[in-house]
Amino acid sequence: MSQPSAITLDNLGEKLPLWRPNDKEHLYAVVDMGSNGIRFSITSLAPPKTRLLIPVYATRAAISLFDALNPSSSGPVFPEETIKAVASTLARFRQTAILYAVPPSNIIVLATEAMRRAGNAGDMLEAIAAATEGLQVHVLDPAVETLFGAVMGSRCGLVDVKGGALFLDLGGGSVQMTWVDTDDERYEMEAAAAGESLPYGAAKLTRILDEEPAHVQEAELDKLGEGMLNIYADLCRRFPVLRAIRDAYERGGDDDDNDGPSHVDLYLCGGGFRGYGSMLMHNDVISPYPISSTATYSVPGRVFGKTARMRRVNDEYGGKIFGMAC
């Protein structure tokens, strides 16, 4: 059985193709095998518009790898029909990439939490390789997933993060949390190395809340809460600025005190958080909100914490809430 090719912070530059301005070809095809769906994109990095990441092609396959995992004696496994569906879907995208003249070396397949957990991930890799004439799947280490999502995924839309902030990425199979301060040298790698991941993504939480009895829900949510507190404590130990904010808050300080800020900013990304952002925007005092995008949308912490109200509105609202899947 084939073993996944793992991408870590140490081998990142070796495993993924480097972009060079003098290359003849600047089209890149990327497959993101997320836990809640598989996304396909072809992007042009041609100078002088490289930074714009001009999209050439994009689509999504509604294949939930997390939902497909079945329990077995050797751990969670993918059923045969899911393996065939994924291999067939990737084969079609490879043909699309060839049609657009994407160099084979620039076709990149990345996988995350569901592939990390699957006991028969090797079977999936072999099926994909057979259907695509040898495409290799790279499984992201949690730290690299933090780098791509919570750090660079959110950071790319900001000028800077002065004073630092907590960054969280809620995917389908896991949630990552780290501290980002753009004043620090090499902050990207430092934030990725410091970040931690919990196996509580949107798909898993939805399954727990929809299918499990009350005592299981309570136990799992307690684990999630404890895990988040532990990550926060670890980040406070590692980053003096964050520790000072926490200490000022515990002393009852105010952001205007000479003692320094006592509250921390949170930047959120990932499908689960975008959905909650859509709920917050739907309930904004400015209605309808003039810019219907959660990108850069912000609310005070006291509003963000009104989760019970947001759930009630979602349950009772008769129409379709913009940006919400259901």
Q: pLDDT band at residue 261, thresholds of 50, 70 and 90?
A: confident
Q: What rounded mean pLDDT belongs to the chain?
A: 90
Task: Give pLDDT tens digits for 129-173.
Answer: 999 999 999 999 989 988 988 788 766 667 778 889 999 999 888
Domain ranges of the chain: 5-140, 144-269
Percent of the chain at pLDDT > 90 equals 62
Task: Give pLDDT tens digits for 167-190.
Answer: 999 988 889 999 999 888 889 999
Q: pLDDT band at residue 57, thresholds of 50, 70 and 90?
A: very high
Q: pLDDT band at residue 216, thresholds of 50, 70 and 90?
A: very high
Quote the pLDDT of residue 162.
82
Quote the pLDDT of residue 258.
59
> What do you get for the CA distance between the two ends of the chain, in Å?
39
Quote the pLDDT of residue 325.
67
Q: Is the confidence at residue 248, as pLDDT, over 80?
A: yes
Residue 259 to residue 8: CA distance in whole angstroms: 39
Q: Is the confidence at residue 10, as pLDDT, over 90?
A: yes
Fold of 5-140: Nucleotidyltransferase; domain 5 (3.30.420)
Average pLDDT for 224-251: 95
Quote the pLDDT of residue 312.
92
Instruction: Yes or no: say if 6 and 139 are a contact pair by the CB < 8 Å rule.
Output: yes
Q: Which residues of 119-129 are buried (b: 16+ CB within 10 A; e: fewer)?
A: bbbebbbebbb
| 58 CB burial (10 A radius; 0-12, 13-18, 19+) | exposed
Instruction: Yes or no: say if 131 and 87 are a contact pair by the CB < 8 Å rule.
Output: yes
Task: Give pLDDT tens digits for 97-119.
Answer: 999 999 999 999 999 888 888 89
Q: pLDDT band at residue 233, thresholds of 50, 70 and 90?
A: very high
Write 6-13 long-range contacts (CB < 8 A, 24+). 6/138, 6/139, 6/140, 6/141, 7/110, 7/138, 7/139, 7/140, 7/141, 7/144, 8/141, 8/143, 8/144, 9/141, 9/143, 9/144, 9/147, 9/189, 9/192, 9/193, 12/144, 12/147
Q: Which residues of 230-248 are buried (b: 16+ CB within 10 A; e: fewer)?
A: ebbeebbeebebbeebeeb
Q: Is the confidence at residue 264, as pLDDT, over 70?
A: yes
Q: Is the confidence at residue 33, as pLDDT, over 80?
A: yes
Q: Is the confidence at residue 77, as pLDDT, over 70?
A: yes
Q: Is the confidence at residue 282, as pLDDT, over 70?
A: yes
